[in-house]
Chains A and B, each alone.
Chain A
Amino acid sequence: MAEPILTARGLTKRYGRVTALDNCDFDLYPGEILAVIGDNGAGKSTLIKALCGAVTPDEGEITLEGKTVNFANPMQARDAGIETVYQNLALSPALSIADNMFMGREIRKPGIMGSVFRMLDRAAMEKVARDKLTELGLMTIQNIGQAVETLSGGQRQGVAVARAAAFGSKVVIMDEPTAALGVKESRRVLELILDVKKRGLPIILISHNMPHVFEVADRVHIHRLGKRLCVIDPKKHTMSDAVAYMTGAKVPEEVMA
C-alpha cells in the first residue's frame, strides 16, 4: 500500500481527569474511504476534532503527506486542505446558503471594488453554491439567497456536505453525515461520498449506521476506550463482528496475537 496521507501517532487528550484519547494511532491512505466507528464515549469525536484542528492534543504527532502539522484552529486545517462536515453542521442559521458556503473564504469582486472597497462578489458565490448543490441533487431549495434556518434538516445537511466537497483538497472528514437524513437523502449523501472518492479525495466517515459504513468504507477503524482497537476489512468481517469488537464483546485476533 502507498504511504498514508494523514497519520497520527500517540495522540493523547485529557479533559481534567477524563482521558478522551489515550495514545491513539490513526492512518488514512490516499483515495480510500475510512470509516471510524466506536461506542458512545469511545473518543471518536475527540480524535476527529484533533485531526481537523478544533482540539489541540496534549501529546502526539499528526502528519499530513509526511509533514508534521500542528493545527491551532480549524482555519489552519482548512488551509492545509482538510475539510470537515461537523455533526452540528456549523452553519449560521440567519445567513444565506451562499454566505454559509463561503464563510471565511469569501470571493471578492475583481478590480478596485474588491481590493479597496472589499466588496464581495455575490453573483459568483451564488453561482458556485447553486452549481454545487445541483451537483449533489439537493436543489429542492427554491432560492439560494434564503436563510439556512428556513431549510429542512436534510437540506441543511446538504449545504454542509456541499461546502466540504467543494473546498476539500486533501481530506474530507464527515461526522455522522446521514444521521439527520431521510432514506432518499441518505442515499444521495452516500453517492456523494463515492463521488468525492472518485475524484481521488480520501474520506474519513464517522457513523453509527453499520449498513452505511459497510456499504461504502474500504477499511473500518474501530475505536475503543480512547484508542484504535483494530482496523478491519468490511468485506472480510460482518457487521456483528464490528459491533462485538467496539463494544468489547469480542477481542479481534490482531489484538490477541
Chain B
Amino acid sequence: MSQPQEFEKVLSGSASSVAHFEEGRSPLQRLQHFLHSNPAMVPLIVLVVLVVFFGIAKGEKFFSAYTLTLIMQQVAVVGILAAAQTLVVLTAGIDLAIGVIMVFAFVIMGNAVLHYGMPAPIAIVMGFAMAGFWGWVNGFLVSKLKLPPFIVTLGTWNVVMAICLIYSANETLREADLTAITGWLHFYGLNFKVGKAVVTLGVVAMILLYVALWYMLNNTAFGRHIYAVGDDMDAAELSGIRTSRVLIGTYALAGLIAGLAAWVSIGRNGSISPSTVVTDYNLQAITATVIGGISLFGGRGSILGVLFGTLIVGVMSMGLNMMNADPQWKVLLTGVLIIGAVAVDQWIRKVSG
C-alpha cells in the first residue's frame, strides 16, 4: 500500500458503508426513472390508450379480431422498413433512402421473373442483393468518407429513385402476369385464419423480424456495438470497436431488411408499380421510429417501441377512418405525436443530468 500523504491520514476514519440515500423522489421523478430504464413503455402506453379509446368509441366494430389483424396487415411493410430505420437511427444516423431501395428491390424482383424469365428464388435473391448493395453504399460513404448520414442518404435517395424509374421505364407489372409464372413473389400475401383473425405471412414476417432484431440488439456483441457507436462514436472506437465495420454492417443490414419489405410489399399490393418510388415510405419509417421512442441522437431506445410506434400510426389511421373523420386529422395527429415523442425523449434523457 502506498503511504498516505499528511492530509490523507484522516481517511482511515472515513465512512466505509455503501452509499445510502433517502428515497426522496416525487412520483413524477420515479416515472422519469422508470421510463429511462424502459424506453418502450411510452409508445406502449400510447398504443393501449388509443386502442381503448377507439374500442369505446366504435365498440365491437373496431375491437374485433378482424379489424385488429387488418391493421397489422396494413402496417406490415412500413413496420419492416421502420425496423431497418431503427438500426440506422440507433447509430445516430438516418436513412432517407430506405423506401426507394425497397421499391427498386421489388421492381428488380418482378422484372427478373417477367422479362428475364428467371426462376423466382433467383429473382428474389437479386432483389435482396440490390437492396443490400445500396445499404452497403450508404454505410461505406458514412463510415469511410465520414459524410453525414443525412446527406449521404439524401443523395442515394435521389440516385436510386432515378435509376429505378429509368430502368423500369415506369412500367407497371400486373399481378395476373406475375402469378401466372410463379406464386413465390406473392408468398407473403398468403394468409391463414384463426377464428375471425386474418394473419398474412407478411405480418408473421414482421413480428419474427422484430423478435430477431430485439434478440440481436440485446444479446449479441454486434447489437451492443450498434448502441455503443450511436452513443459515443469516439469512446466506442477507443474501447476497441471497429466502428466503421459496425456502421457498414448496420446500413447493409438495413438494406437487406428493405429487401424483405420489398418481398412482403409484393404480397400486399399484388402488382409491382415503379411509380410508388415517390411514396414517402422513408418518412413513414422515420415517423414510426421516432414515435417508437428511438432517440435521433443515437444509442437509446428499444426496437419493441418501434413496433408499438408502427401500430400507433396504424391504429390511429384505422380508428379515425371508422369515425369518418377527415383523413387530414390522421396527418395532424401524427405530427403532434412526433413532436410529443421527441419532447418526452428529451425529458427522459434529463434523468442522467
Interface residues of A (CB under 8 A from B): 54, 73-75, 78, 84, 86, 88-95, 99-100, 103-106, 108, 117-120, 122, 139-140, 142, 147, 149-150, 183-184, 187, 190-191, 194, 211, 215-216
Q: Enumerate chain B residues within 8 angstroms of A73, measured Cβ to Cβ.
A: 237, 242
Taken together as a complex, chains A and B put the C-alpha atoms of A102 and B236 apart, in Å, by 12
Residues of B in contact with A, size category: 35 or more
Taken together as a complex, chains A and B put the C-alpha atoms of A120 and B222 apart, in Å, by 10
Contact B231 A90 (CB under 8 A): no
Q: Enumerate chain B residues within 8 angstroms of A99, measured Cβ to Cβ.
A: 224, 228
Choose among B225, B232, B299 the residue with the greatest number of A CB atoms under 10 Å from its CB.
Answer: B232
Contact B3 A120 (CB under 8 A): no
Which of B219, B227, B241 meets A120, CB within 8 Å? B219
Interface flag for B239 (CB, 8 Å): yes
Q: Enumerate chain B residues within 8 angstroms of A74, measured Cβ to Cβ.
A: 237-240
Known A74-B240, A104-B241, A190-B2; contact A94-B300, beta-carbon cutoff 8 A: yes
**Stretch among B11-19, B102-110, B137-145, B147-155 lining the A interface:** B11-19
Q: Enumerate chain A residues within 8 angstroms of B352, measured Cβ to Cβ.
A: 93, 147, 149-150
Interface flag for B5 (CB, 8 Å): yes
Known A90-B234, A94-B231, A139-B18; contact A106-B221, beta-carbon cutoff 8 A: yes
List B residues 1-29 near A (Cβ within 8 Å). 1-5, 7-8, 11, 14, 18-19
Q: Enumerate chain A residues within 8 angstroms of B11, measured Cβ to Cβ.
A: 183-184, 187
Interface flag for B328 (CB, 8 Å): no
30 A–B contact pairs at CB < 8 A?
A73-B242, A74-B238, A75-B240, A75-B241, A86-B238, A88-B234, A90-B234, A90-B239, A91-B232, A91-B239, A92-B227, A94-B231, A94-B300, A95-B224, A99-B224, A100-B239, A103-B228, A103-B236, A103-B241, A106-B221, A118-B219, A119-B219, A120-B221, A122-B219, A150-B351, A183-B8, A184-B14, A187-B11, A191-B1, A191-B2
Taken together as a complex, chains A and B put the C-alpha atoms of A183 and B238 apart, in Å, by 28
Total A-B Cβ pairs within 8 A: 102
Interface flag for B235 (CB, 8 Å): yes
Min CB–CB distance A257 → chain B (angstroms): 34
Taken together as a complex, chains A and B put the C-alpha atoms of A95 and B352 apart, in Å, by 12
Taken together as a complex, chains A and B put the C-alpha atoms of A120 and B314 apart, in Å, by 35
Interface flag for B324 (CB, 8 Å): no
Contact B224 A78 (CB under 8 A): no
Q: Enumerate chain B residues within 8 angstroms of A120, measured Cβ to Cβ.
A: 219-221, 224
Contact B4 A93 (CB under 8 A): no
Known A75-B240, A89-B235; contact A194-B1, beta-carbon cutoff 8 A: yes
Min CB–CB distance A59 → chain B (angstroms): 24
Q: Enumerate chain B residues within 8 angstroms of A149, measured Cβ to Cβ.
A: 352
User: Which of chain A's residues has its CB closest to B232's CB?
Assistant: A92
Known A106-B221, A191-B2; contact A94-B227, beta-carbon cutoff 8 A: yes
Q: Enumerate chain B residues within 8 angstroms of A88, measured Cβ to Cβ.
A: 234-235
Min CB–CB distance A152 → chain B (angstroms): 9
User: Which of chain A's residues has its CB closest to B17's CB?
Assistant: A140
Min CB–CB distance A119 → chain B (angstroms): 5
Min CB–CB distance A213 → chain B (angstroms): 12
Contact A118 B221 (CB under 8 A): yes
Q: Enumerate chain A residues within 8 angstroms of B5, measured Cβ to Cβ.
A: 211, 215
Q: Enumerate chain B residues within 8 angstroms of A104, measured Cβ to Cβ.
A: 225, 239-241
Taken together as a complex, chains A and B put the C-alpha atoms of A216 and B2 apart, in Å, by 7
Min CB–CB distance A180 → chain B (angstroms): 15
User: Which of chain A's residues has its CB closest to B240's CB?
Assistant: A104
Taken together as a complex, chains A and B put the C-alpha atoms of A187 and B18 apart, in Å, by 17
Min CB–CB distance A84 → chain B (angstroms): 8
Q: Enumerate chain A residues within 8 angstroms of B236, measured Cβ to Cβ.
A: 92, 103
Min CB–CB distance B107 → chain A (angstroms): 34
Q: What 0/1 readout, one digit per residue, does chain B (224-264) give for beta carbons within 8 Å of chain A?
A: 11011001101111111110000000000000000000000
User: Which of chain A's residues has its CB closest to B351's CB?
Assistant: A150
User: Which of chain A's residues has its CB closest to B227's CB?
Assistant: A95
User: Which of chain B's residues has its CB closest to A145's CB?
Assistant: B37
Which of B1, B4, B19, B231 meets A95, CB within 8 Å? B231
Min CB–CB distance A183 → chain B (angstroms): 6
Q: Enumerate chain A residues within 8 angstroms of B37, measured Cβ to Cβ.
A: 147
Taken together as a complex, chains A and B put the C-alpha atoms of A39 and B136 apart, in Å, by 45
Taken together as a complex, chains A and B put the C-alpha atoms of A172 and B332 apart, in Å, by 57
Q: Enumerate chain B residues within 8 angstroms of A150, measured Cβ to Cβ.
A: 351-352
Q: Enumerate chain A residues within 8 angstroms of B219, measured Cβ to Cβ.
A: 118-120, 122
Taken together as a complex, chains A and B put the C-alpha atoms of A103 and B3 apart, in Å, by 34
